[in-house]
Structure 1
Amino acid sequence: MMRIAVAGGRGFGFLLATELAQAANAYNVVVLSRSVGFSAPYVPARPEFDQFDVQVHVVDYHDHGSLGYALQGVDLVISTISGAEQLNLIDASGRGRVRMFVPSEFEGSLSRRQSRNGNGNDPLDRGSSQALALLKQWFESSRMKYTVFSCGLFMERFHPYGLANTFNIGHGSGVGGAGEFLVNFSTATAEYAERDSKGHSVRVCLTSVYDVVRYVVAAVDLGPSHWPQEFTMCGDRMTVRDLINACSTASNAVFTRHVRQYAELETYLSYSAQLCDYDKVAYYQRLVATANGRYDFSQATLNEAVNGSSSVNVQPVTFGAWLASIWTQAF
């Protein structure tokens, strides 16, 4: 039986761990958690996992001994953490002879993570390049494989209460709160570039958090031995204009649209930098990245792998259907 460690036991990590534990193959799942969740005596660590038969290891991500102990016998690590803690986890996994590592890199295709000025630096990196470079080193030295699962954008980015509040995801991304990316439901406004630098319509791929979990579990069911370096998945693909239309329809509101030319985004970005308004700098960096196709891909390779198999099945929700369902729940 494959032993799988999920790093991070809240939000996305909780969904992954519990879904893996309930999969048809009933994997042996362990959650690596920073805390036990309760301080009272005789209360088990993270009791919310008990009904799913998921083991919890409390770890110190800055202690290689703690990580090494928790990773004993683990075949696959799926990370939902980032920064220095993920780097330490990668090192410990390499030393511990883990066979496969999935980094916390779910939004945005690898091939589209490029600098706006072509110098190779990604302004939205947040430690991603370090993690990928370290994974490459371990692959070359110990043959620990790694695969990135790219979903485009989480549909939950457009939840009226925000991704961070509803799923405990994206606190450090700058777009975890409501109204921080493309659409603001509370003010019924939207700001975006409709066309890229070549005049083509800007498109994005979107996948619900729940469908991302289902696709990752389906990939595990298919077997990690033949995973490519990147799997792309998609619940829906649409132009940004159609995305705004869908948000307007779901909320029954006429949006005020600030449609920017591509060159305007660069101008706003430079102006914000001159004012040292770093929140706005990050805001326009995300709009530029979206216009550059960071969250778009024409081929969803994991969808194709799942659709071509008789042993797994995932039917992802469309953005319109997702919006309709969450709007009913939220209000």
Structure 2
Amino acid sequence: MRVAVAGSCGLALMIAREIHESTSHQLILLSRRHQPGLISQGYQCQVVDYSDANSIQHSLMGVDTVISTVTGTSQLRLIEAAVACRVRRFAPAEFEGRPALRGQGDPLDRGQAAALALLQHYRGYIQSTIFVCGILYERFSVNGMVSQHIGVNTGYGNEGDYILDARNMTAEAPVYDSARNLSTVCLTSAYDAGRFIVRSLDMAQWPAELSMCGERMTVNTLIETVKNCRGRLFNNVRWQDPDGLRYELTMAQMAGDVPRQRRLLTLIATAEGRYDFSTPGFLNAQFPDIQPMSFQDWFTRNWASVP
């Protein structure tokens, strides 16, 4: 089949590389700019102007499936063009927790709700699924997930922005939920997410959600794992529950500290269980030959060169 991946870096490129190297599907990368480097590697790239419906539709001619990593208005225009071109399937830019766990007016929303509403509106014309993978390991990368060209515009993609700072060994840990139970998260490496996503292309039908998980652990265990991998004790850990985090958020709002607000909102979402799903990942069960990398192995490799 002809598969279009919207985006040309980060997770989009990992998905594209897996399609390119492991399948016989015809791949086209949609990019806002010319990509001579990718073209020289054998990728078919199409420059797209997301403000021009004709430009998008031209890029989608003959495409069976679209996997999007673009957000906001660009993604809405992409969905409309996909419907106009009779694209069979569309996967929006999600790659986090289950949308059902997000509240209305979610302050972390980056156009996701509008995209899902539009896909629901067109459900009679185009099939869609949401890839649920919890937290990407890359949030804990050396120099942050922005160094992997992931989450550049989220406001919490730099090193140390989420839960812990592995370089300075400090943490602000949403360790409890509102009922004082230990908070749990599902985590997956972007590489493994790409593998699961690409394998799902061969499924005859896509359900409303397709979940995957590299590892499920409590926030406590996450911090302990980083401590053991680094071989160092944490200098400071602030154990937080949702009430404490909401108080901190109020203080940040009063101070006009927008970056801190964004970071606290992700911690509150974590404490509320947004990035956790207790049942095993559907795609893990569907494709048992894919053995995801453990968080410990991934973290050890990523931080091996940092003293």
Asked whether the two chains share a fold, i.e. TM above 0.5, the reply is yes
Q: Kindly state the Cα deviation for residue 214 of structure 1 after the two structures are TM-superposed.
A: 0.5
> C-alpha deviations, 1:75-102, integer Å up to 9, x for none?
0000111111111111100111000001
Matching residue within 95, 101, 106 for 1:112: 101
Secondary structure of the structure 2 residue equivalent to 1:200: coil
Question: Match of 1:263?
Answer: 243
Per-residue deviation, residues 17-41 of structure 1 (Å, max 9, x unmatched): 1210222x4100001111114xxxx
CA distance in 2, matches of 1:169, 1:152: 14
Select between 27-36 and 248-257 the one with higher mean Cα deviation: 248-257
Within 2, Cα distance between the matches of 1:261 and 1:199? 8
Unaligned runs of 5+ in 2: none
Task: Report the AA paired with residue 29 of structure 2.
Answer: V
Contact 1:18 1:49 in 2 (8 A): no
Aligned partner of residue 22 in structure 1, secondary structure: helix
Q: 2:53 aligns with which of 53, 64, 70?
A: 64
The two structures have a TM-score, normalised by structure 1, of 0.89
Q: How far off is 1:275 after superposition?
A: 2.1
Offset from partner CA, 1:264-307 (integer Å, 9 cap, x none): 11111122222222222222111110000011001211111112
Match of 1:27 in 2: 25
RMSD across aligned positions (CA): 1.4
Aligned-pair CA distance for 1:330:
5.1
Distance in 1, matches of 2:122 and 2:242, equals 39
Q: What is residue 191 of structure 1 aligned with on the other side?
A: 172
The answer for the alignment partner of 1:237 in structure 2 is 216
Secondary structure at the residue paired with 1:4?
A: strand
Unaligned runs of 5+ in 1: 38-45, 115-119, 308-312
1:247 aligns with 2:246: no
Name the aligned partner's letter for residue 252 of structure 1.
G
- Tell me the residue number matched to 1:136: 120
Measure, in 2, the Cα distance between the counterparts of 1:206 and 1:57.
Answer: 32
| Comparing 55-64 and 276-285, the one that deviates more | 276-285
Q: How many residues align?
A: 305
Runs of 4+ off more than 4 Å: none
SS in 2 for 1:139: coil
Q: Is 2:303 the counterpart of 1:327?
A: yes
What CA distance in whole angstroms lies between the structure 1 residues aligned with 2:214 and 2:57? Answer: 37
Secondary structure of the corresponding residue to residue 328 of structure 1: coil
Secondary structure of the equivalent of 1:68?
A: helix
* Contact 1:265–1:284 (8 Å) recurs in 2: yes
> Is 2:38 aligned against 1:48?
yes
Q: Quick one: distance in 2 between partners of 1:61 and 1:174?
A: 23
Is the contact made by 2:156 and 2:259 (CA closer than 8 Å) also made in structure 1?
no
